[in-house]
């Protein structure tokens, strides 16, 4: 490896970058008829390509905040015969069913999270990735996310206010002492939510604010004695010492009114995400589920592991 290469041991992928103006989320599943040799060969090229895309973006478009992050699912890890033992918390996500709503589980072999302030650059990266992977896999999710006003969801409320900042982003998103063999990696969890906007818009703003637990106009959290126990803020935040780095983006099609949020988070421990999901879907206490789920339905749910850049370099052969 050249001495001026940007990769260093334990160096994470761009998991702690801040949300961008244009984003592609791509989930690919390996075809069953692909032989092991071809699968591994294409995967090696993908690992090298992700490294190349990030280095090239940094050199060519330093102000675009462009990046491409690749995550690998549990079954894909095994099929590719990647190192064992696996990352300690990498598994197939299992549904979390509450009394009314369910966090569904869906298959995902590879996940690509592509960001850039320049829309054409994001498109080009997504196109290059697609050209490389389509011979061995089928795309099952393609979402083009966009920044909506001051980082609001389509529901009209600011999304991600509780995100950690500064050095805390690395602390909560990147593995260090938790699993030394996978230092610099991250757990990546994603869900595609579709919103019932007609039902949501029928709620008076004051009632919407009770569902979220914040004011709509100026994003101020309600005090604990006012905030409903089943509000989104009350149940999705599981403690100051248990945080994740979110990079949610709105998406949708106005002609069909299928508008939603792509929930995406990076975490040093997946158990933190599981606790959050159990609070939301089962409730704390049980049946006190997150009221936002009456207006937002999870259509997908997949867990991936994001190797460090130096591990990607090893995988690239």
Question: What distance in Å separates the CA atoms of residue 210 and residue 44, rounded to the nearest whole number?
Answer: 49
Q: What is the pLDDT of residue 257?
A: 81
Half-sphere exposure of 203 (CA within 13 A, CB side): 19
Question: pLDDT tens-digit profile of 4-47?
Answer: 334 445 899 999 999 889 999 999 999 999 999 999 999 999 99
- Exactly one of 109, 159, 179, 290 is catalytic; name it: 159
The verdict on whether 159 is a catalytic residue reads: yes
Q: What is the pLDDT of residue 267?
A: 98
Question: pLDDT tens-digit profile of 145-185?
Answer: 999 999 999 999 999 999 999 999 999 999 999 899 999 99
Q: What is the pLDDT of residue 40?
A: 98
Question: What distance in Å separates the CA atoms of residue 291 and residue 207, rounded to the nearest whole number?
Answer: 11
pTM of the model: 0.95
């Amino acid at each position: 490896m050249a001495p001026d290469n940007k990769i260093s041991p334990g160096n994470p992928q761009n998991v702690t970058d801040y949300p961008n103006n244009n984003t592609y989320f791509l989930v690919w599943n390996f075809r069953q008829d692909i032989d092991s040799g071809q699968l591994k060969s294409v995967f090696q090229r993908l690992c090298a390509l992700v490294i190349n895309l990030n280095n090239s973006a940094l050199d060519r478009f330093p102000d675009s905040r462009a990046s491409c992050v690749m995550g690998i699912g549990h079954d894909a890890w095994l099929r590719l015969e990647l190192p064992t033992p696996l990352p300690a918390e990498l598994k197939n996500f299992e549904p979390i069913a509450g009394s009314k709503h369910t966090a569904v589980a869906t298959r995902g072999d590879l996940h690509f999270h592509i960001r850039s302030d320049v829309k054409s650059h994001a498109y080009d990266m997504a196109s290059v990735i697609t050209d490389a992977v389509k011979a061995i896999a089928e795309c099952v999710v393609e979402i083009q996310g966009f920044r909506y006003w001051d980082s609001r969801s389509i529901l009209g409320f600011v999304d991600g206010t509780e995100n950690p900042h500064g050095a805390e982003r690395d602390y909560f998103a990147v593995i260090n002492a938790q699993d030394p063999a996978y230092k610099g990696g991250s757990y990546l969890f994603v869900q595609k939510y579709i919103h019932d906007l007609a039902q949501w818009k029928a709620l008076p703003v004051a009632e919407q604010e009770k569902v979220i637990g914040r004011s709509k106009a100026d994003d101020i959290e309600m005090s604990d004695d006012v905030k409903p126990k089943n509000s989104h803020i009350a149940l999705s935040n599981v403690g100051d010492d248990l945080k994740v780095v979110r990079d949610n983006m709105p998406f949708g099609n106005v002609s069909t009114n299928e508008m939603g949020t792509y929930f995406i988070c990076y975490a040093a421990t997946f158990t933190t995400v599981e606790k959050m999901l159990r609070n939301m879907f089962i409730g704390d206490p049980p049946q006190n589920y997150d009221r936002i789920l009456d207006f937002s339905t999870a259509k997908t749910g997949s867990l991936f592991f994001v190797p460090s850049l130096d591990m990607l370099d090893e995988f690239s052969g």
